[in-house]
Structure 1
Amino acid sequence: MDVVLILLALLLIFVIVLLAKTVRIVPQARAGIVERFGKYRISLSAGLNVVVPFIDKVRYTIDLREQVVSFPPQPVITQDNLVVSIDTVIYFQVTDPVAATYEIANYIQAVEQLTMTTLRNIVGGMDLEGTLTSRDEINNRLRGVLDEATGKWGLRVSRVELKAIDPPLSI
């Protein structure tokens, strides 16, 4: 009789663990990336999801809300060889969680690097006066380039804002 109770208790524990491993709850505005034996299988949407226990693993949970990333002030050289300090804020959203997971290792760092190089290219073709007076033009050009470049990473850049453009102290 004791053996039967022990076996029933073990069976009950196994069933509870199996159910806990089978059901996955993904929070609102997030997506789960499921891998089976290390290979992408499916994306989980928000809510209650069922996976194959011990075989499928929810490896990544991606935030689908719009994210705001503020970059520290960057020194940028204008066309007339003056150094301005530009403070930038990027607003972007993950539109394809699979691409954001597997196409780029760290999309926030990649967006930061791409923003800085693109900003240097745009401002490098303008003089100081043009840089200080053409904030909207710089924002629009930067957003266009970033949105196109980050599309393959599953991202959509919705806004780019230049918080501050500080001219050199000598001027």
Structure 2
Amino acid sequence: MDPVVILILVVAIVVAFLAASTVRIVPQARRYNIERFGRYRRTLQPGLNFVLPVADRVNTKLDVREQVYSSDPKPVITEDNLVVNIDTVLYFQITDPRAAAYEVADFLQAIDQLTVTTLRNVIGSMDLEETLTSREEINTRLRTVLDDATGKWGIRVNRVE
């Protein structure tokens, strides 16, 4: 083959590859955080998006639908020094994909640790009988504390059970 034809084929393949890598299709209910040379640039919304092929990189792919997180039973001591194992189910939603990716290293672990700490504070101030009868109050207090803390992480806690 002629070297010019080979060169044209190579250039055509490179151009086709670069053209294909400029397009990112983001599915519904997902958000992609884009970094340009390692620095946050923008968040891609659902649909067809264009990025710079060499400079831009998808760092995180986040689901913005309501998610359910169920924690393992945790031992909690009541005010009358009785140990109660409590498991929680959190319903949360990512509201700010940039904050969820960059404000905290692992938001699920952070939510779990914050839940345990808050549960110990709330239930530690109640005796066993009060703990068993005031479930709704515990859920409300837990949700309020979690929602305040997770707001800066770009996460909204919808319900706690």
Which TM-score band (shorter chain)?
A: over 0.9
- Counterpart in the other structure of 1:168: none
Identity %: 64
Residue identity matched to 1:30 = R
> How far is the alpha carbon of 1:4 from its aligned partner?
2.1
SS at match of 2:65: coil
- Counterpart in the other structure of 2:106: 106
SS at match of 1:157: strand
Q: Structure 2: where are the runs of 5+ without partners?
A: none
Residue identity matched to 1:68 = V
Distance 1:64 1:56 in 2: 22
Residue identity matched to 1:34 = I
Please give the residue correspondences for 1:49-88 in structure 2 after superposition, counting only pairs within 5 Å: 49-88=49-88
- Counterpart in the other structure of 2:121: 121
Distance 1:93 1:51 in 2: 27
- Counterpart in the other structure of 1:92: 92
> How far is the alpha carbon of 1:72 from its aligned partner?
0.5
Residue identity matched to 1:71 = S
> How far is the alpha carbon of 1:87 from its aligned partner?
1.2
Q: Per-residue CA shift, 1:31-58, capped at 9, x if unaligned?
A: 1111111111111001110001101111
Aligned residue pairs, count: 161
Distance 2:56 2:86 in 1: 46
- Counterpart in the other structure of 1:137: 137
Distance 2:56 2:74 in 1: 43
- Counterpart in the other structure of 1:153: 153
Q: Per-residue CA shift, 1:108-154, capped at 9, x if unaligned?
A: 00000000000000000000000001111100110011000100000
Q: What is the aligned-residue RMSD (CA, Å)?
A: 0.9
Give the structure-1-normalised TM-score.
Answer: 0.92
Which structure is higher in strand share? 1
Q: Per-residue CA shift, 1:148-171, capped at 9, x if unaligned?
A: 01000000000000xxxxxxxxxx
Distance 1:56 1:18 in 2: 12
Structure 1 runs (4+) greater than 2 angstroms displaced: none
> How far is the alpha carbon of 1:8 from its aligned partner?
1.7
Give the structure-2-normalised TM-score.
Answer: 0.98
